[in-house]
Amino acid sequence: MPQCRLYVSLSILIAILTQLVFSQKQNFTCHVTDSEHLHKHNFTELSSSDITIYDESADGNITLRLCSPLSQTCAGSSDYSICLRKHGTEIGLGKFPPLLQNNHTSMFTFTGDLCSNSKNYTVLIIMKCQENAIDTTIPQLIPKAKYDHCSTYFIWYTKWACNKPKNSNCTVVDERNNLYDLSPLTAYKNNYVVYIDDKGNLVMNINVCHSVIHEYGSACYGTAGACLAVYSNDSSNHEYINYGEVNQALTINNGNLEILYTHGHLCNDETEHSYLWTNITFICDPEATEYTQPMYKNNTSCNYEFVWKTSLACNKTYLNEYAKKCKVTNPRTKYIYNMKALSFGYVMTNTSDGTQYQLQICGPLRNSKCPQGTGVCNTKDFVSAGMANANLMWRHGGPYLNYTNGVKCQNGRNHYTIISFICGPEESTGLPIIVKNDSCSLIIYWYTNRACEKRLRCGEKETNLLPLVRTSKNYVAKGMGTEFHINICLGVIPTPGLACPPGSAVCQAARTSEGQYTNETSLGYPDETTILLDKQNVILNYSQGSPCPENPLKNLSSSFKFSCNYYGDHGSPEFENYSNCHFSFTWKTNIVCATLVGVWVPPCTVKDTTHANKVDLSLLYPKPVPRIVTGTGKNYSINICGGKEHCNGSAICQGTNGYGTITSVMFDYNSKAIKLVYRNGSTCSGDSYTSELSLICNDSVGIDSGPKLILHGYCMASFEWHTKIACPEKVMLDSRTSTYPVYTTETTPARESLQKNDAAVQTWAIVSALLLVAVVLIAWFCMRNPRSCSDLRYRINAITASRNHSTVQYSRVNTTEEAHLLLDTSDPCGDGEIDSDDELLGV
Ligand SMILES: *[C@@H]1O[C@H](CO)[C@@H](O)[C@H](O)[C@H]1NC(C)=O
Ligand SMILES: *[C@@H]1O[C@H](CO)[C@@H](O)[C@H](O)[C@H]1NC(C)=O
Ligand SMILES: *[C@@H]1O[C@H](CO)[C@@H](O)[C@H](O)[C@H]1NC(C)=O
Ligand SMILES: *[C@@H]1O[C@H](CO)[C@@H](O)[C@H](O)[C@H]1NC(C)=O
Ligand SMILES: *[C@@H]1O[C@H](CO)[C@@H](O)[C@H](O)[C@H]1NC(C)=O
Ligand SMILES: *[C@@H]1O[C@H](CO)[C@@H](O)[C@H](O)[C@H]1NC(C)=O
Ligand SMILES: *[C@@H]1O[C@H](CO)[C@@H](O)[C@H](O)[C@H]1NC(C)=O
Ligand SMILES: *[C@@H]1O[C@H](CO)[C@@H](O)[C@H](O)[C@H]1NC(C)=O
Ligand SMILES: *[C@@H]1O[C@H](CO)[C@@H](O)[C@H](O)[C@H]1NC(C)=O
Ligand SMILES: *[C@@H]1O[C@H](CO)[C@@H](O)[C@H](O)[C@H]1NC(C)=O
Ligand SMILES: *[C@@H]1O[C@H](CO)[C@@H](O)[C@H](O)[C@H]1NC(C)=O
Ligand SMILES: *[C@@H]1O[C@H](CO)[C@@H](O)[C@H](O)[C@H]1NC(C)=O
């Protein structure tokens, strides 16, 4: 809703901008009085220094200063307030002074250098109220529209853009002495918005125990708690109607919490002769814990009625009763997590000191020597590490239980235990693991499918990062004097001593002088799917991590940029930089490459070195005779496995002309083809004959349909050969289940024990080798996913020349064996075939 609303307000604001007539420059003051001359907005405090913001679409840095010219010159002039710097060039996006206007919302309009023929650069900065913002917020860049690169828009949330608010008492006690507090619902930045009609012409802005944020779109006079915007076809005729002032405390009416906003605008209804008012009734809904919204119920000529379902309207007794269910709802998605199935007794051993704990989920332990009601029992001296409850709670990263009131520990506090349920790899062992303990708390992680709301499918569509997903040991990168524990599309794998916020995909941790992990911070969760940036680069973003230390209003986030590295392996992440609460990593890998280099293994096998795919081409020759292809009056004889005996070592021969020896093998995973490139054949007009042959996967033609000539030139020829042997081996699909356990049975050994124990190192090496094999197998399986094949077809066109090119082209012809032949192949990925393969793959 807020985004939608933002969009609506923005589009209106942008429309206004186009109507602006620039008034004469005058002495600039950095404050403006709002259009009703009631409140002064003074932005001087925001302009104490230059602010730099990275603009991704321009790939440059925008430096800006709101109320004065920049401290440094831009494009040789000191007149600019906004400057774009990229790769050594400087563009003045905005000259000082700006035009500062207030049409309920304050806006700065800057004009800069000439952008295109008739247009100058403009920068519009929209100042939006956020009452609880810290002093030094920075503006947010709105992504640019493709068709208009001359205009830049920022939104700047700041307390300096607010009108003076009015509050009312938001707590109430009922006759049974239950206390209710609705203040968590008070909005300090974007109002609650309720669309009254379908067309969006009647929009009610609402706040709770607090006046609505005054801005364009909710510009009622006074301190309204409910403000109706009436939009008309004629944009100059919008109306804002005060539907009640914030003037009375939260009350209880007929057993329901109720807010009344009264004494708004005069009501036109002659029979009632009163003022407009609004009535919001709050209904208890234990599952509506966050992101709840008011709902329109009814209206009369003088009144609007809303109902609002929220857990804040429930009494504590009821909430606790409800919570005993061992269930919790993700408030954002309404997905219900249920851990009842796990409510058995377990015994866990703390690997660091050998202490054993008994654990019972959502209920007290039975047959335990610990005090009655204990949920986690330390069996060393039978003390409670926390009393049981079934109050499953939710936080980003998954549901959890907090067992409190255990044995007394330090400073009179009681021991507690957090049990976090985390969506684990598909074959998670499903047992609780102790990740950290100190004298007063115990942290248990439980990787289970029951905590999976949706699995992020990293292997879908354009990007297939599945081969990089770790199920047994995190990637570790270093930077800023810390370690980054990283997984792809999945939360980090539990590591003893590393207590990351559960479910985080990147966890930053420092080490103490004793080598213990400390200050574990989440750099984001695996919520978003991968983005194809361009042909060979894939971006993966993790957001909503721990609060940002420099700006508590923001959360830490991270991103990974995967770049194709043809000759590399899966690669590993490297920390690049940290800026603006965001960590950037780069990752060079062959996984995002559409085509991989293979090698020729005599006598007649080709092998993809990175994915260990091997194809025996002698299968194409059940009889040891060359295949003959006739085309344009010439006969070509093709003998891939012929070696020296055939045509002076050439695999392809026409008359006495040899068409070259093998120089490169390419595995094109998108079009499921294997390309063989032959060069340095017999002399042809001072050059030499060359040829190439594409083996194209085609399941429906038996062993083969025979090679076909598809292109020929004066000194070259190119052939296609549809055959089953270029297809993914079915055995891979069948053995899928047996390849997975290799992943999961392996556990992360503690670093220390590895160093001490050579035998362990060897075991680890063997397990790693097995793991590598499994990764390779799965990688191959994934690369052959026909869906990514069809979706990604265009990627290959970057590597291969378009089919429309009438001649075969070579690009970057190296003298090395890795010359890339640029030649398109036909599309072997018919859609009919995809469905059946999908079934096989189970996707
Ligand atoms: C701007 O301010 C200066 C000094 O305060 C004054 O001399 C000048 O007339 C002002 N110009 C305008 C256009 O108001
Ligand atoms: C605006 O704020 C600045 C800094 O807080 C102050 O110096 C200045 O006097 C204010 N201007 C007005 C007109 O209130
Ligand atoms: C933007 O600024 C950052 C930090 O000063 C710098 O590292 C980066 O290279 C700049 N980017 C460009 C495109 O100038
Ligand atoms: C537009 O840019 C040109 C060239 O920089 C400048 O001379 C002109 O004054 C600009 N127009 C406005 C309205 O600022
Ligand atoms: C708000 O109302 C509650 C009960 O109605 C009362 O106890 C409390 O003192 C009031 N708070 C304020 C700040 O007036
Ligand atoms: C607004 O425009 C719509 C369609 O363009 C029209 O049906 C409607 O009558 C107009 N309303 C007013 C108040 O002019
Ligand atoms: C404020 O916005 C309205 C609606 O777009 C417009 O009609 C009006 O002229 C604007 N007022 C000012 C002072 O710009
Ligand atoms: C507010 O609305 C509810 C129904 O939505 C109604 O039961 C209640 O009586 C109303 N309050 C007042 C003061 O009219
Ligand atoms: C709305 O209020 C009117 C007048 O009180 C009543 O007749 C009508 O039934 C109400 N409609 C709904 C949907 O509650
Ligand atoms: C709490 O609320 C529930 C349902 O809303 C009600 O049945 C129960 O009596 C209330 N309990 C107390 C102690 O107020
Ligand atoms: C769990 O309960 C303890 C003790 O009341 C408290 O200090 C801690 O913050 C709680 N943790 C969470 C994640 O709720
Ligand atoms: C952990 O964070 C605290 C508080 O920010 C800091 O003082 C301490 O130095 C950090 N520890 C390490 C090992 O970085």
pLDDT tens digits, residue range 23-79?
Answer: 334 478 999 988 776 788 999 999 989 999 998 888 899 999 999 999 999 999 999
3-state helix, strand, coil in the chain (%, to 5): 15, 40, 45
pLDDT for 439? 87
- Of the listed ranges 55-59, 85-89, 564-568, 691-695, the least confidently predicted one is 564-568
Candidate of 259, 275, 277, 281 to mutate for ligand 8, largest count of ligand atoms within 8 Å of Cβ = 281
pLDDT for 670? 58
Contact 819, 810 (CB under 8 A): yes
Query: Looking at ligand 12, which residue's alpha carbon is closest to its atom 4?
Result: 519
pLDDT for 290? 63
User: Across 225-229, 325-329, 623-627, which has the greatest mean pLDDT?
Assistant: 225-229
pLDDT for 509? 95
Residue type, position 7, single letter: Y
pTM: 0.50
**Domain 171-317 matches domain 324-451 at the CATH topology level:** yes
Angle value at C-alpha 138, between 132 and 143, nearest 5 degrees: 115
Number of residues in the chain: 843
pLDDT for 249? 95
pLDDT for 651? 87
**Best CA proximity match to 652, nearest among 585, 719, 556, 588:** 719
In the structure, what pLDDT confidence band is assigned to residue 291 with cuts at 50, 70 and 90?
A: low
In the structure, what pLDDT confidence band is assigned to residue 20 with cuts at 50, 70 and 90?
A: very low
Q: Has domain 34-161 been given CATH number 2.70.130.10? A: yes
For the chain, what is the mean pLDDT? Answer: 77
pLDDT for 424? 72
What is the whole-number distance in angstroms between the Cα of residue 47 and the centre of ligand 3?
Answer: 21
Mean pLDDT of 629-655: 81
Angle value at C-alpha 840, between 835 and 842, nearest 5 degrees: 90
**Which two three-digit tokens encode residue 499?**
């207590």
Place of tokens 């020829």: 717
Q: Could you tell me the residue ranges of all domains in the chain?
A: 2-26+760-841, 34-161, 171-317, 324-451, 466-589, 595-726
User: Residue 22 gets which letter from DSSP?
Assistant: P
- 331-344 tens-digit pLDDT: 877 788 988 888 77
pLDDT for 703? 64
Place of tokens 């959502």: 362
What distance in Å separates the CA atoms of residue 472 and residue 489, rounded to the nearest whole number?
A: 14
Q: Is 758 in the pocket of ligand 3 (CB under 6 A)?
A: no
In the structure, what pLDDT confidence band is assigned to residue 612 with cuts at 50, 70 and 90?
A: low
Pairing of β 557-564 and β 531-534: unpaired
pLDDT for 828? 28
Query: Looking at ligand 5, which residue's alpha carbon is closest to its atom 10?
Result: 169
Q: What percentage of the chain has pLDDT greater than the value 90?
A: 36
pLDDT for 425? 67
Contact 382, 408 (CB under 8 A): no
**Which two three-digit tokens encode residue 484?**
């980054």
Place of tokens 């055959």: 723
Q: Which CATH class name applies to 324-451?
A: mainly beta
- Of the listed ranges 3-7, 72-76, 132-136, 160-164, the least confidently predicted one is 3-7
Q: What are phi and psi of 88, to 5 degrees?
A: 85, -10
Query: Looking at ligand 3, which residue's alpha carbon is closest to its atom 2?
Result: 61
Mean pLDDT of 183-205: 91
Mean pLDDT of 149-154: 89
Residue type, position 212, single letter: V
What is the whole-number distance in angstroms between the Cα of residue 97 and the centre of ligand 1?
Answer: 13
Q: Is the peptide bond before 603 cis (omega within 30 degrees of 0)?
A: yes
pLDDT for 772? 39
Burial of 365 from C-beta contacts in 10 A (0-12 / 13-18 / 19+): buried
Q: Which ranges constitute the DSSP H helices of 674-799?
A: 730-734, 736-744, 751-756, 758-783, 786-791, 793-799
For the chain, the straight-line distance linking the first and the last C-alpha, in angstroms and rounded, comes to 33
Burial of 644 from C-beta contacts in 10 A (0-12 / 13-18 / 19+): exposed
User: Across 54-63, 250-259, 549-558, which has the greatest mean pLDDT?
Assistant: 250-259
Q: Which atom of ligand 1 is nearest to the CA of 27?
A: 1
pLDDT for 329? 86
Query: Looking at ligand 9, which residue's alpha carbon is closest to its atom 13?
Result: 298
CB neighbours of residue 500 within 10 Å = 28
Q: Which fold has domain 595-726?
A: Cation-dependent Mannose-6-phosphate Receptor; Chain A (2.70.130)
pLDDT for 159? 92
Q: Is 256 in the pocket of ligand 8 (CB under 6 A)?
A: no
Q: Is 252 in the pocket of ligand 5 (CB under 6 A)?
A: no
What is the whole-number distance in angstroms between the Cα of residue 153 and the centre of ligand 2?
Answer: 26
pLDDT for 804? 29
Query: Dmax over Cα atoms in the chain, in whole Å?
Result: 108
pLDDT at 438 over 50: yes
Question: What are the residues whose beta carbons fall under 8 Å from the beta carbon of 236, sequence distance 6 or more?
Answer: none
In the structure, what pLDDT confidence band is assigned to residue 624 with cuts at 50, 70 and 90?
A: confident
In the structure, what pLDDT confidence band is assigned to residue 154 with cuts at 50, 70 and 90?
A: very high
CB neighbours of residue 145 within 10 Å = 11
How distant, in Å, are the alpha carbons of 156, 243, 558, 583, 636 from that of 579? 19, 44, 10, 7, 61
| Residue predicted with more confidence, 299 or 535 | 299
What is the whole-number distance in angstroms between the Cα of residue 316 and the centre of ligand 10?
Answer: 8
- The secondary element (H helix, E strand) that includes residue 18 is helix 2-19
| Residue predicted with more confidence, 769 or 353 | 353
pLDDT at 167 over 90: yes
What is the whole-number distance in angstroms between the Cα of residue 633 and the centre of ligand 11?
Answer: 84
What distance in Å separates the CA atoms of residue 302 and residue 278, rounded to the nearest whole number?
A: 9
Q: Which ranges constitute the DSSP H helices of 607-669?
A: none
pLDDT for 68? 92
Q: Which ranges constitute the DSSP H helices of 302-423?
A: 316-323
- 715-750 tens-digit pLDDT: 888 899 988 888 755 322 222 222 222 222 222 333
| Residue predicted with more confidence, 197 or 463 | 197
**Region 171-317: CATH code:** 2.70.130.10
**Which two three-digit tokens encode residue 516?**
């213990």
In the β-sheet with 226-230, what is the strand arrangement from edge to edge?
192-195, 202-206, 226-230, 239-242
In the structure, what pLDDT confidence band is assigned to residue 760 with cuts at 50, 70 and 90?
A: very low
pLDDT for 805? 29
- 662-704 tens-digit pLDDT: 888 888 765 678 889 898 888 888 788 889 899 988 877 766 6
Residue type, position 288, single letter: A
Up-side HSE of residue 143: CA atoms within 13 Å toward CB?
4
Q: What percentage of the chain has pLDDT greater than the value 70?
A: 77
Q: Is 278 in the pocket of ligand 8 (CB under 6 A)?
A: no
Contact 218, 191 (CB under 8 A): yes
**Region 466-589: CATH code:** 2.70.130.10
Q: Is 298 in the pocket of ligand 9 (CB under 6 A)?
A: yes
Q: Is 513 in the pocket of ligand 1 (CB under 6 A)?
A: no
